[in-house]
Structure 1
Amino acid sequence: MSDTIVETADGIRALRHDAPHPDAFTRDSVGWLPWLEPLPVDQLTERHHAGLVDRGRASSDYFRLLARDPEILRARTLTDKDIFYNVAEGLPRADRELAAAAASRVNGCVFCASVHARFAAHFSGRGDAVDRLLAEGVDADLGERWNAIVAAATALTQTPIAFGPAHVARLRAAGLDDLEISDVVHGAAFFNWANRLMLTIGRAVAPA
C-alpha cells in the first residue's frame, strides 16, 4: 500500500492511494485516507489542539486535515459531541447512532456507516438488526421504532424538505417525545453534512 503525491496544474499537492476500497457496508473497522495532506503531528500548535478538542485526535489523518481551519473544527467537534454524548435527556445513545448510520447508508459513506453501526449495535445489543440495515439498506425491517427513526433520517438525508409532519407523527406513534424527535433530526442532519465532507476530502479503505 503506497501513497503518491500529485501536483495539480494550480500547484495543489494532492494524494493518490492504491489501498483497496471496501466492497460492502460493514461493522468491521474501515480505514480512511485523505486526498490532501493533513498537518504533520509535529506542526500542531496549541491553536490546532484547541480545534481538535481531544488531543488524542491528533493521530487521525481526518482530524489533522480539518485542523487546517481549527476554529471551524472546534465548532464541528463540540456539535458532534453534544449530539451523541449528551444523553442525560432525550434519545438513547443507540437510537442517535442509528440515525447517523442510516444517513451514512443513504449517502454511501462506508467509513461513517461502519463507525455508527458499531456504536448502534453496542449500545442496543441488536447487532442483527444493524447488520440488516447495512446489508439491505434503509428499507430493512428493524421493528417500528427503528423503522420510524430510519425513515426520518432517510428523508432528511435525501432532501431536507422531504421530512415533514408524517415523519413526526410516525416517530410520536413509535413512542418518541419532542426532545427525542429533535435528537433524531440533529443526528441525521449532522451526519448528512459530515458524510459529504468526508466523502469529498478522502476515501474509505477496506478492512484488513
Structure 2
Amino acid sequence: MSETTIASSQNDRPLAFTQDEIGWAPWLTPLSEDHLTERHWAGLVDASRAKSPYFMLLARDPEILEARTKTDRDIFYNLAGGLPRAERELSAAAASRKNGCIFCASVHARFASTYSKRRQDIQRLLDESVSVDIDERWNAVIAASVALVRTPAAFDVRDVERLRVSGLDDLGIVDLIYSAAFFSWANRLMLSLGEPTPAAKS
C-alpha cells in the first residue's frame, strides 16, 4: 500500500457506527495473491478470503490465521445448540461498539439484523451505544458482552444469573462468552493494523 492511499483513507474514513458496508485499509502491506503458497491457502481456509486485505495481511502467519478462522467459524456457525445466531452476532456487535471498532461493528450489526429481523433495535445499539435499553434479554446479552470486553474479571455470577433469568441455558452462556471474547480480541487486532474506509465503489 502506498503512502498516498493511506493518507487519502485518513481524510474520508467513516466516523459513525453504521450497518452499511464499509471498507478497511491496512497500514502494513498485505500479501498479494500471486505470492500465496499452498501453506498460505491452507491458512486462509476459505479461498474467497484472498480478496480481503485484512486476511491477506494475517496470511503472513498462516498457521495462526488458520486457527483464528476455524475458531471464528465454530463460534458463529456451529448452531447445534446454545445461543441463536442472531444473539451471537449481537454479542459481537456489542463488543465491537464498546471497543470502538467501526468496521467490525458494521459487519456484525448487519448479521444481527439479518438473523433477528430487528434492524431498528440493532441501529439503536450503534447510535446509543451499549447503555441502550432494548428488552431484558438483549440488555442482558449486551451487558455481559461489555463486561467481558472491559476486563474478563468484570463478568461474574451476577451476569450469569441475569442471563439465566433471561432464558439462556449453559450452552447459550458459553456461546455468548466465546462471541464477546473472540471479538474483544479481534477488534483490538483490527484497530492496531489499519482503519475503516468508505465502501469501495462498484
TM-score of the pair, normalised by structure 2: 0.95
Give the deviation of 1:21 after TM superposition: 1.1
Letter in 2 for 1:68: R
In structure 2, distance between residues paired with 1:63 and 1:187: 19
In structure 1, distance between residues paired with 2:113 and 2:134: 12
Letter in 2 for 1:191: F
Q: Which 5+ residue runs of structure 1 have no aligned equivalent?
A: 6-14
Aligned to 1:74: 66
Please give the root-mean-square deviation of Cα atoms over the aligned residues, in Å.
Answer: 1.3
In structure 1, distance between residues paired with 2:58 and 2:15: 27
In structure 2, distance between residues paired with 1:17 and 1:174: 47
Sequence identity (%): 61
Give the deviation of 1:16 after TM superposition: 2.9
Aligned to 1:83: 75
Give the deviation of 1:17 after TM superposition: 3.3
Aligned to 2:186: 194
- Listed as ranges, the matches of 1:35-54 within 5 Å are 35-54=27-46
Q: Which 5+ residue runs of structure 2 have no aligned equivalent?
A: none
Aligned to 2:150: 158
In structure 1, distance between residues paired with 2:48 and 2:65: 14
String of CA shifts for 1:80-115, please: whole Å, max 9, x gaps: 000000011111000000000000000000000000
Q: Would you tell me which structure has more helix in proportion to its own residues?
A: 2
Aligned to 1:171: 163
Aligned to 1:10: none
Aligned residue pairs: how many? 198
Tell me: CA distance 1:142–1:3, structure 2 relative to 1, closer, same or farther (3 Å). farther
In the alignment, does 2:126 pair up with 1:137? no
Q: Would you tell me which structure has more strand in proportion to its own residues?
A: 1
Q: Which has the higher contact order (CA 8 A, sep 6+)?
A: 2
Contact preservation (8 Å) 1:100, 1:116: yes
In structure 2, distance between residues paired with 1:78 and 1:179: 19
Aligned to 1:125: 117
String of CA shifts for 1:168-193, please: whole Å, max 9, x gaps: 00000000000000000000000000
Give the deviation of 1:207 after TM superposition: 4.0
Contact preservation (8 Å) 2:15, 2:102: no
String of CA shifts for 1:151-174, please: whole Å, max 9, x gaps: 000000011111000000000000
Aligned to 2:7: 17
